[in-house]
Chain A
């Protein structure tokens, strides 16, 4: 049934294995789309040789999950255990798999000396490893993300706290020299713990917001960046554009900075008003003389059921007040009562237009 094709695949076993490994490694990465899955299925269906090579590597990789047995008793973050030549191997071989995988290490009766040696070795390695990380490398690296409509507070290892708005994502890297946060998308509010030796840096595209100990929020809106400072001072830095460097902007508490590709606009507000801009943390959106179009955009950041502006006249209406972002419909019903607005309620959107 395979006929002449067999000779062709026969020559390429190692090459096919390489391709299968590439597929598995790619699928194991974050950016795996349905299009990728379809392409993989097609590749697998193309030749049984592809499928068996894939299965073999997949099975070995699945088995590798059991390696955690070797790490029993080790804290996360220590990296792999030392290669087992003597003590470690003997002790592990004597220990029951079940105990290794599911229970914390308990010294077994027989190989007592071996077990102590192992514990001592692991302990020493953990200490040495911890020392090395603290001095030379990252001590915490993590990603946090929220889905649409969710707000989540994330405590960081240095005592700081990040609060993620709807549909946002940050990558955190805390090292000895710097606390580095990548704002991948959306908005986050930070309460940076004071630590003069380690600046707290939030990076968003080609801009950086640097704080020492302060409260502020950073939000990405396409190419625009908005920074709101509610306590202390932060420094807004930008990468040079076309060889020209932008001066860094110092933002005291009460500042709102809007950074666009062509420049940075800073506005000073009374502290209380600045704080209202980050009220989303407690479930509120705050508007003051805001166009309905802008307000709708704010609501849509949090809700799958979008508020759609049906005509320009409606979008230009100016509103104020504070509203629960989770209750877009309540907001619209209120509009209908007090403003010249007519709403059509659909399943995934609410369209507003002039009556």
Chain B
């Protein structure tokens, strides 16, 4: 897959994640579906952008979100029909309220350090040693007296938490109670239930 598309996706789409999540939280009654909606929206945006890059990424992102919600309501997957009429108004509201691109150096750093500071202690330490002091995972393990496997787990967890806080402003943090293993098992169970 071409790297420019990936960069575009990070620079033009992911930076609006917080605004997108606010929009979804207000427009969609099922809170526990928000992360799945976010994923589906990202998939649609990415696949469309693979054919032609939208000129106005943010507008395209929210238009995609609206279409998805409309589709979902039509498919009758939703109990409450109330939010439907509000989409347009909500979109305008979100557009006004959402911070103008926080890609400026200072805001990025502030956001990043906030995200970093919300990591649990051990995870925070591991991320720092690996990402800032550039120790290898093995060296981090030796330094902290923990196994390499544990270091790898902390890094996986750190990535998810950082992404959730950095892009989603906190509401982007996915459910990961316990190990990732549990999440996988739960998802499989759900899938079989379908």
Residues of A within 8 A of B (CB): 1-2, 6-19, 21-22, 24-26, 28-30, 44, 48-49, 51-53, 55-57, 59-61, 63-71, 76-77, 79-80, 83-84, 89, 92-93, 96-98, 100, 137-138, 141-143, 171, 173
Minimum Cβ distance to chain B for residue A285 (Å): 32
Is the Cβ of A57 less than 8 Å from the Cβ of B117?
A: no
Q: How far is the CA of A289 from the CA of B164 in the complex (A)?
A: 68
Q: Tell me if B95 is interfacial: C-beta within 8 Å of chain A.
A: no
In chain B, positions 143-181 with a C-beta closer than 8 Å to chain A are: 143, 145, 148, 151-153, 155-157, 159-160, 162-163, 166-167, 174-176, 180
Is the Cβ of B133 less than 8 Å from the Cβ of A171?
A: no
Q: How far is the CA of A13 from the CA of B153 in the complex (A)?
A: 19
Minimum Cβ distance to chain A for residue B162 (Å): 5
Residue from the list B6, B132, B186 in contact with A67, Cβ < 8 A: B132
* Chain A residue at minimum C-beta to C-beta distance from B138: A30
Q: Tell me if B43 is interfacial: C-beta within 8 Å of chain A.
A: yes
Listed by A's residue number, 7 A-B pairs whose Cβ atoms lie within 8 Å are: A10-B37, A11-B36, A11-B191, A14-B174, A18-B176, A24-B159, A25-B152
Is the Cβ of A48 less than 8 Å from the Cβ of B156?
A: no
Q: Enumerate chain A residues within 8 angstroms of B139, measured Cβ to Cβ.
A: 141-143
Is the Cβ of B156 less than 8 Å from the Cβ of A22?
A: yes
Residues of B within 8 A of A (CB): 1, 6, 9-10, 14, 33, 35-40, 42-43, 46-47, 105-106, 108-110, 112-113, 115-117, 124-125, 127-133, 135-139, 142-143, 145, 148, 151-153, 155-157, 159-160, 162-163, 166-167, 174-176, 180, 183-184, 186-188, 190-191, 194
> Known contacts A14-B175, A15-B184: does B9 contact A52 (CB below 8 Å)?
yes
> Known contacts A97-B106, A171-B138: does B36 contact A26 (CB below 8 Å)?
no
Is the Cβ of B1 less than 8 Å from the Cβ of A51?
A: yes
Q: How far is the CA of A76 from the CA of B135 in the complex (A)?
A: 10
* Chain B residue at minimum C-beta to C-beta distance from A140: B143
Minimum Cβ distance to chain A for residue B107 (Å): 9
Is the Cβ of B39 less than 8 Å from the Cβ of A26?
A: no
* Chain A residue at minimum C-beta to C-beta distance from B5: A55
Residue from the list B35, B110, B112, B125 in contact with A79, Cβ < 8 A: B125
Minimum Cβ distance to chain B for residue A143 (Å): 6
Q: Enumerate chain A residues within 8 angstroms of B42, measured Cβ to Cβ.
A: 52, 56
How many pairs of residues, A versus B, come closer than 8 Å at their CB atoms? Answer: 201
Minimum Cβ distance to chain A for residue B121 (Å): 9
Minimum Cβ distance to chain A for residue B20 (Å): 12
Residue from the list A9, A63, A80 in contact with B128, Cβ < 8 A: A80
> Known contacts A15-B187, A61-B131: does B6 contact A21 (CB below 8 Å)?
no
> Known contacts A9-B39, A14-B175, A143-B136: does B110 contact A66 (CB below 8 Å)?
no
* Chain A residue at minimum C-beta to C-beta distance from B35: A13
Q: Enumerate chain A residues within 8 angstroms of B47, measured Cβ to Cβ.
A: 1, 48
Q: How far is the CA of A279 from the CA of B110 in the complex (A)?
A: 56
Is the Cβ of A63 less than 8 Å from the Cβ of B112?
A: yes
Q: Enumerate chain A residues within 8 angstroms of B116, measured Cβ to Cβ.
A: 64, 67, 70, 80
Q: Enumerate chain A residues within 8 angstroms of B159, measured Cβ to Cβ.
A: 21, 24-25, 57, 60-61
Knowing that A2-B43, A51-B46, A70-B109 touch, tell me 7 more A-B residue pairs with CB under 8 angstroms.
Answer: A1-B47, A12-B187, A17-B39, A21-B180, A57-B159, A64-B127, A79-B129
Residue from the list A2, A12, A92 in contact with B109, Cβ < 8 A: A92
Residue from the list A16, A57, A67, A100 in contact with B131, Cβ < 8 A: A67
Minimum Cβ distance to chain B for residue A57 (Å): 5
Residue from the list A7, A8, A21 in contact with B160, Cβ < 8 A: A21
Q: How far is the CA of A138 from the CA of B144 in the complex (A)?
A: 8
Minimum Cβ distance to chain B for residue A254 (Å): 34
Minimum Cβ distance to chain B for residue A14 (Å): 4
Minimum Cβ distance to chain B for residue A107 (Å): 18
Minimum Cβ distance to chain A for residue B101 (Å): 15
* Chain B residue at minimum C-beta to C-beta distance from A7: B194
Give the one of B42, B113, B135, B151 with max A CB within 10 A: B113
* Chain A residue at minimum C-beta to C-beta distance from B144: A137
* Chain B residue at minimum C-beta to C-beta distance from A71: B132
Q: Enumerate chain A residues within 8 angstroms of B186, measured Cβ to Cβ.
A: 15
Is the Cβ of A19 less than 8 Å from the Cβ of B184?
A: yes
Residue from the list A49, A60, A171 in contact with B43, Cβ < 8 A: A49
Minimum Cβ distance to chain B for residue A299 (Å): 31
Is the Cβ of A137 less than 8 Å from the Cβ of B40?
A: no
Q: Enumerate chain B residues within 8 angstroms of A48, measured Cβ to Cβ.
A: 43, 46-47
* Top 5 A-B residue pairs of the complex, sorted by shortest distance between their CB atoms: A97-B105, A15-B187, A60-B163, A80-B128, A18-B180
Minimum Cβ distance to chain A for residue B175 (Å): 5
Q: Enumerate chain B residues within 8 angstroms of A2, measured Cβ to Cβ.
A: 43
Is the Cβ of B112 less than 8 Å from the Cβ of A64?
A: yes
Q: Enumerate chain B residues within 8 angstroms of A55, measured Cβ to Cβ.
A: 6, 9-10, 14, 46
